[in-house]
Structure 1
Amino acid sequence: MEAHLHRSKNVIVLLVLSVSLAATLVQSSATPVAGEKVKLALYYEALCPGCTYFILNDLSKIFDNGLIDIVDLKLSPYGNAKISSNGTIVCQHGEWECKLNTVGACAINTWPNVNDHFKFIHCVESLSDDGKYREWKTCFKKLKLDPKQVTECFTGELGHKLELQYADEIGALKPPHEYVPWVVVDGKPLKEDFANFVSYVCKAYKGSKVPQACRGLSLKKDSAKPFNNVCYKEDNNAKSKVLESM
Structure 2
Amino acid sequence: MASVNYPCKSLVVLVFVSLLESSTTILPSNSDKLFLALYYESLCPYSANSIVSYLNKLVEDDELLSIVDLYLSPWGNAKIRGNDTFVCQHGPYECLLSTVEACAIHPWPKLEDHFPFVYCVERLVYERKYPEWESCFEDLGLDPKAVSECYTGGYGDELEKYATETNALQPPHKYVPWVVVDGQPLYEDYEDFITYICKAYKGTATPKACSKPSGYSIQRPKAKSIPPVCYRDTIISTLLEQI
Same fold per superposition (TM over 0.5):
yes
Closer, same or farther: CA 161–242 of 1 in aligned 2, 3 Å: farther
User: Residue 196 of structure 2 aligns with which residue?
Assistant: 200
User: Residue 233 of structure 1 aligns with which residue?
Assistant: 232
Which digits, 9 at most, give the CA deviation of each residue in 1:37-86, with x for residues without a partner?
Answer: 10000000011011011100011001222311110000000000000121
Q: d(CA) in 1 for partners of 2:35 and 2:227?
A: 26
User: Residue 109 of structure 1 aligns with which residue?
Assistant: 106
Contact 2:80 2:86 in 1 (8 A): yes
* Structure 1 residue 227 displacement after superposition: 5.1
Q: d(CA) in 2 for partners of 1:221 and 1:60?
A: 14
Which digits, 9 at most, give the CA deviation of each residue in 1:4-61, with x for residues without a partner?
Answer: xxxxxxxxxxxxxxxxxxxxxxxxxxxxx93321000000001101101110001100
User: Residue 211 of structure 2 aligns with which residue?
Assistant: 215
Q: Return the match for 2:41 from 22, 26, 45.
A: 45
RMSD, matched Cα: 2.3
Q: d(CA) in 2 for partners of 1:191 and 1:227?
A: 10
The TM-score with structure 2 as length reference comes to 0.80
Q: d(CA) in 2 for partners of 1:95 and 1:222?
A: 35
Q: d(CA) in 2 for partners of 1:227 and 1:75?
A: 23
The TM-score with structure 1 as length reference comes to 0.79
1:57 paired to 2:53? yes
* Structure 1 residue 160 displacement after superposition: 10
Larger fraction in helix:
1
Closer, same or farther: CA 159–53 of 1 in aligned 2, 3 Å: farther
Paired residues, number? 211
* Structure 1 residue 218 displacement after superposition: 4.2
Contact 2:74 2:98 in 1 (8 A): yes
| Structure 2: runs of 5+ lacking an equivalent | 1-28
Which digits, 9 at most, give the CA deviation of each residue in 1:70-107, with x for residues without a partner?
Answer: 10000000000000121222100000011011011111
* Percent of aligned pairs with the same amino acid: 53
Q: d(CA) in 1 for partners of 2:186 and 2:134?
A: 33
